Structures are given as structure tokens and as C-alpha cells.
């Protein structure tokens, strides 16, 4: 039923919905594409279905980092370490086509508190298999010559790497087609039929009904809660919005993925307000990706000028040369987020024949291949490579029964979700753990062991500017790429703002060159 090997999947005409299939994968993002490809390669008859098409959801909004650095010790880190291994394996085959770069990641600390927390985290990560080197403030420039001087130190994560997410989805979907899989675009899952034992037997879509022989895999990303509901069950997956800024191509001056130490805590925080810290990386095409923010505002696609300005300011504070860069565009995406920030991978606890592979928050690109490996091991009854209990859908069964699952959000922006206004400081620090002090750090051949007292005073704080209320004004300024920064942040407008926050150092306010990314113009 799957079609012959080598069949073209992208660029071919619309595929009809099959009458029946062994495995139906819902959602052709990076997770669905990886799962479908792996299962088809294992010889199963698989249909990959999407209401739009490949990479139509969050997978076209991610930055493409495959990270160990932001994972907390435990199941989170175990998953990431295996994920990185699998990306390296795939890169042997797909390398250039997915723009794979084993570039390494550098996490930097602005102050002693951040540094302590970073070293504590790095210590515990390294004990579980992460390759981390502590970097003295004075040695940061060996790794990143263009970094600001105003940093206390950092940690270098050799295993962090990068791919181009859309190219990766494309590669996996083509691989899926080559294994005989069938891709159906434009079919939205709307309901399901179950047998007397509650086992899922067929799925209703806007293109018709498909009978399911073995199982359905729900890989519908931030919509997975709603898709689960349509399939007769519940899982708590909510969209967590993130902004990303893209500069015009620049001569390369950022070598690694560089982020603030506060970024790690924003990934794992309780999500009660806006979290924002800088992640900076160059891409193969020369553009720079600047991220990112996290907030629960439903599926609102409205760009927020204040967030854009904050991201720009924080990025410029790390790399003063960015003040010369022009912003090409900005966009938002929706991370599929669970209450405990761990993905949901495994058999549904209420509906037989249904598996979930979702809830990867800001790590779905990095975790796609390991997720596919886990799903395959579950379907074939093989011993998994790690403890899967932390990812089991059953851990949320009580919440699902009491109706605290995702609201109905498909097709329309979820305006019912109230925008949260409480905004904690843009960069929180990692939670303090009782852990070894930095002098206890094992040497492990680390050539850049941290030395105290080699840094400059903390970055200055400036009062936040108030932002323009009009998003369209801001957008047209970016698109023409010649706007002075005051068009990004109008000091006279009465929109958001007023809170003090970290702003660019001198480099960020360089005059004369119409800097788009500066944060301190008037």
C-alpha cells in the first residue's frame, strides 16, 4: 500500500488518501517526518498526513540548534545526548543537504551569580556524558573574537550542532518517500472511530476516512492537544510563542551558537510571563539568527515590537558588531510545550492504537531522530535505549481526565487565551543547586579552566524605551532595511515598556551608520 521505493514525494502532485494503512502519522513537521521515515525504513506501510504540508508548522520556525547545553540532567539530557549521536549519523548521509554543522555552543555569563549557576549545571551535565569545558572570561575571545568584553566567563559545549530545519524536514520526507511511504497533504484530522474495546480503528479527515491497521502516531506539534481530543483522548500540549530575528547576510563573525546563561532557565521556567534571552548564531547563507522569547499567548501571530527590541538589544550586548547589522525580517513560531517541559512519547493511556510523539518545546529539531527511534522500539516491542517513563503520556492522565488539556485551537488564532502581562526580568539565572564549587571542577584536559577576577564591570543598565504601537510601521521599516533604530523603538509612543532592562554597551549605540539592531538610540 505504501508505493514503490524511490517515489517522489515533494514536487509531485497531490496524493490521494489511502483507504487503509498500517500506520498513520499525523503531522509532517520534523517529528512526524522523522517518525514516518524511520517506520517506513523498518518495513511498515506508513502514511504521513498533514492538514497543510511538510514543515507547515513550527518546524519552519525553529533555529535548528541541536543542543546539549540547554538540557538539564536527567531524562532531558539523556534524550538530547542520544539525539546528537543520531544527527551525526544522519549527517554522514545528509550533511550538506541539511546544512549540518558541528559548530559547538558557547554559553556565557554576565555576572558571578549566572556563572556559578552555569558551572553548577555544567558540572552535573558533564557527569552524565556532556562534553563541557569551562571558559575563563579572558579566554572567551579565543572562541569568539567578536564577543563583548563585559562577560564573566562561559562554558563551551562541543556536542552542540546545527541543522537547517526545513531542509531537514525535506530530507526526511524524501527519505520516507524512498522507503515507499505515502505523503498526503491538505488532509486535516477531524475525528476517529474506535471499536468496542476503545481501540482506534479509523481516522476521519477532511479528505475522507482512512482505516488504520496498527496505530496512529500523533505528531502534530503545538496542535497535538487538539488532535488528541479529536482522536478521543487528551494530552496537555500548549503553544509557547517565540520570536526570532533574521539579519541580512553578514561577513561571518560569530563562529558558534552563543547564548546567555539565562537562556537555560527560560527553557525550563514555569512560564508565568515573558522570558527572553539572547541566542545568536550564523547560518550557512550568512544571515544571523537572533532569538528568542518564550510566552504563552495562544496562537497569536502578532509580532511584538518590544520583544523584538529586547532580543536585538540583548544580542547587541553580546556582539557589539551586530549594531551595524540590518534586520531582514522577524517571525514567530509556537513551541509545543508540556507542563513539565518534557516531550510526550509513547502509547496513549486511554485509546488503544494511538501513540503520541510531541511536546518537544524548543528542542524538537534536536530530538526528532531520537523520538523516531523510541517510537520504532515501542512499536516493535524492543528494549528502549533509556527509561521512557518520564515521557509516558500516562503521567498526564489525571490532568486529561479533569479537562485541563489544550483548548480547541485549530485553524483560528487562539484569541481566547488571555495574554499574560506579568513580565519577569528578561534574563533570570539558573536555579541555585547545592553542588560542587567551581574549584572542584574536574580538569579533564580542560585548557580554559576558569580563573576568577579577570572581567570588566557589569554592563550598564539603561531605562527601557517605549515602543511604537504600530507593528506595520515597524515591519515596513525592517523590510526596507534602512530604518534608524528609533523606528523600532519610539520613545514618545505610549505602548509597552518603561521597565528598566539591560541594554547595549557602547558598541550597541554606535552612531552614524543607521544601526537597526542598536538598543540605545534616542
Ligand X SMILES: Cc1cc2nc3c(=O)[nH]c(=O)nc-3n(C[C@H](O)[C@H](O)[C@H](O)COP(=O)(O)OP(=O)(O)OC[C@H]3O[C@@H](n4cnc5c(N)ncnc54)[C@H](O)[C@@H]3O)c2cc1C
Q: Which residues of the chain form contacts with ligand X (CB under 6 A)?
A: 26-32, 49-52, 56-59, 61-65, 188-189, 219-223, 227, 242, 244, 291-292, 333-336, 358, 360, 362-366, 410
Helices 471-480/305-318 angle, 10° precision: 40
> Do residues 110 and 459 lie in contact, with contact meaning Cβ atoms separated by under 8 Å?
yes
Please identify, using beta-carbon distances, which residue of 98 and 134 lies nearer to ligand X: 98
Cell digits of residue 374: 523510541
Distance CA 317, CA 64 (A): 23
- At residue 435's C-alpha, the angle toward residues 432 and 436, to 5°, is 130
How is residue 347 written as a grid cell? Answer: 502509547
> End-to-end distance of the chain based on CA atoms, in angstroms?
64
Closest approach of ligand X to the CB of residue 240, in Å: 7
CB of 16 to ligand X, least distance (A): 16
> Closest approach of Cβ 323 to ligand X, in Å?
23
**Cβ at position 289, least distance to ligand X in Å:** 8
Q: How far is the CB of 505 from ligand X (least distance, A)?
A: 25
CA distance 330 to 319: 19
Least gap, CB of 52 to ligand X (angstroms): 5
Cβ-based nearer residue to ligand X, 50 or 101? 50
- Give the helix ranges, DSSP H, for 319-428: 364-379, 397-401
Instruction: Give SS3 for 221.
Output: helix
Residue 334 Cβ vs ligand X, minimum distance, rounded to whole Å: 6
Strand partners, 182: 47
Give whichever of 86 and 137 is closer to ligand X, judged by the CB atom. Answer: 86
Contact 449, 443 (CB under 8 A): yes
Residues 118 and 192: beta-carbon distance below 8 Å: no
Strand residues in 285-348 grouped as ranges (E):
288-294, 327-337, 344-347
Q: Which is nearer to ligand X, 179 or 335 (CB)?
A: 335
Question: Which residue has cell 540583548?
Answer: 314
Nearer Cβ to ligand X (25/392): 25
Least distance CB 79 / ligand X (angstroms): 11
What does the alpha-carbon distance between residue 107 and residue 263 come to, in Å, rounded to a whole number? 9
Whole-angstrom distance, CA of residue 115 vs CA of residue 192? 51
CA–centroid distance for 428 within its chain: 19
Closer residue to ligand X in complex, CB, 51/82: 51
Distance of CA 345 to the CA centre of its chain: 17
- Of the pair 317, 368, the CB lying nearest ligand X is at 368
Ramachandran assignment for 55, one of left (phi > 0), alpha (psi -120 to 50 degrees), beta (any other): left
Please, what's the b/e burial string for 65-92 (b: 16 or more CB within 10 A of its CB; e: otherwise)?
Answer: bbbbbbbbbebbbbbbbbbbebbbebbe
- CB closer to ligand X, 174 vs 360: 360
Q: How far is the CB of 368 from ligand X (least distance, A)?
A: 7
Q: How far is the CB of 436 from ligand X (least distance, A)?
A: 29
Amino acid at each position: 500500500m505504501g508505493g514503490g521505493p524511490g517515489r517522489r514525494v515533494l514536487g509531485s502532485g497531490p496524493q490521494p488518501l489511502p483507504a487503509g494503512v498500517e500506520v498513520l502519522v499525523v503531522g509532517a513537521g520534523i517529528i512526524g517526518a522523522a517518525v514516518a521515515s524511520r517506520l517506513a525504513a523498518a518495513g511498515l506501510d506508513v502514511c504521513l498526513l498533514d492538514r497543510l504540508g511538510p514543515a507547515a508548522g513550527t518546524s519552519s520556525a525553529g533555529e535548528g540548534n541541536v543542543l546539549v547545553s540547554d538540557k538539564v540532567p536527567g531524562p532531558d539530557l539523556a534524550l538530547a545526548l542520544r539525539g546528537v549521536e543520531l544527527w551525526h549519523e544522519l549527517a554522514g548521509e545528509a550533511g550538506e543537504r541539511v546544512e549540518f554543522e558541528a559548530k559547538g555552543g558557547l554559553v556565557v555569563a554576565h555576572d558571578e551569580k549566572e556563572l556559578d549557576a552555569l558551572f553548577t549545571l555544567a558540572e552535573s551535565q558533564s557527569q552524565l556524558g556532556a562534553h563541557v569545558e569551562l571558559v575563563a572570561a579572558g579566554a572567551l575571545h579565543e572562541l569568539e573574537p567578536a564577543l563583548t568584553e563585559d562577560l564573566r566567563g562561559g562554558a563551551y559545549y562541543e556536542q552542540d550542532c546545527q541543522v537547517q530545519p526545513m531542509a531537514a524536514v525535506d530530507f526526511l520526507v524524501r527519505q520516507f518517500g524512498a522507503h515507499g511511504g505515502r505523503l498526503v497533504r491538505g488532509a486535516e484530522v477531524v475525528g476517529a472511530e474506535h471499536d468496542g474495546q476503545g481501540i482506534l480503528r479509523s481516522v476521519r479527515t477532511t479528505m475522507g476516512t482512512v482505516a488504520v491497521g496498527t496505530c496512529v502516531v500523533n505528531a502534530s506539534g503545538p496542535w497535538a492537544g487538539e488532535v488528541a481530543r479529536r482522536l478521543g483522548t487528551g494530552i496537555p500540549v500548549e503553544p509557547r510563542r517565540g520570536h526570532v530575528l533574521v539579519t541580512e547576510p553578514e561577513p561571518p563573525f560569530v563562529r558558534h551558537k552563543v547564548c546567555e546563561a539565562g537562556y537555560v532557565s527560560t527553557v525550563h521556567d514555569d512560564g508565568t510571563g515573558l522570558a527572553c534571552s539572547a541566542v545568536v548564531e550564523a547560518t550557512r547563507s550568512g544571515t544571523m539568527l537572533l532569538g528568542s522569547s518564550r510566552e504563552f499567548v495562544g496562537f497569536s501571530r502578532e509580532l511584538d515590537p518590544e520583544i523584538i527590541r529586547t532580543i536585538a538589544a540583548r544580542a547587541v550586548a553580546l556582539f557589539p558588531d551586530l549594531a551595524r547589522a540590518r534586520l531582514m525580517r522577524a517571525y514567530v513560531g509556537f513551541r509545543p510545550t508540556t507542563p513539565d517541559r518534557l516531550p510526550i512519547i509513547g502509547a496513549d493511556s486511554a485509546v488503544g492504537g494511538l501513540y503520541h510523539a510531541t511536546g518537544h518545546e524548543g528542542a524538537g529539531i534536536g530530538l526528532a531522530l531520537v523520538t523516531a527511534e523510541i517510537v520504532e522500539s515501542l512499536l516493535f516491542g524492543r528494549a528502549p535505549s533509556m527509561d521512557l517513563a518520564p515521557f509516558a503520556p500516562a503521567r498526564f492522565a489525571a490532568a486529561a481526565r479533569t479537562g485541563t488539556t489544550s483548548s480547541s485551537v485549530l485553524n483560528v488564532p487562539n484569541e481566547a487565551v488571555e495574554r499574560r502581562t506579568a513580565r519577569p526580568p528578561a534574563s533570570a539565572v539558573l536555579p541555585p543547586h547545592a553542588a560542587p564549587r567551581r574549584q572542584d571542577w574536574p580538569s579533564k584536559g580542560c585548557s580554559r579552566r576558569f580563573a576568577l577576577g579577570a572581567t570588566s564591570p557589569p554592563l550598564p543598565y539603561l531605562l527601557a524605551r517605549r515602543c511604537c504601537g504600530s507593528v506595520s510601521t515597524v515591519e515596513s521599516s525592517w523590510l526596507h532595511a534602512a530604518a534608524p533604530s528609533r523606528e523600532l523603538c519610539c520613545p514618545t509612543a505610549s505602548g509597552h515598556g518603561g521597565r528598566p532592562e539591560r541594554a547595549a554597551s557602547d558598541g550597541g549605540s554606535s552612531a552614524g551608520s543607521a544601526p537597526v539592531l542598536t538598543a540605545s538610540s534616542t
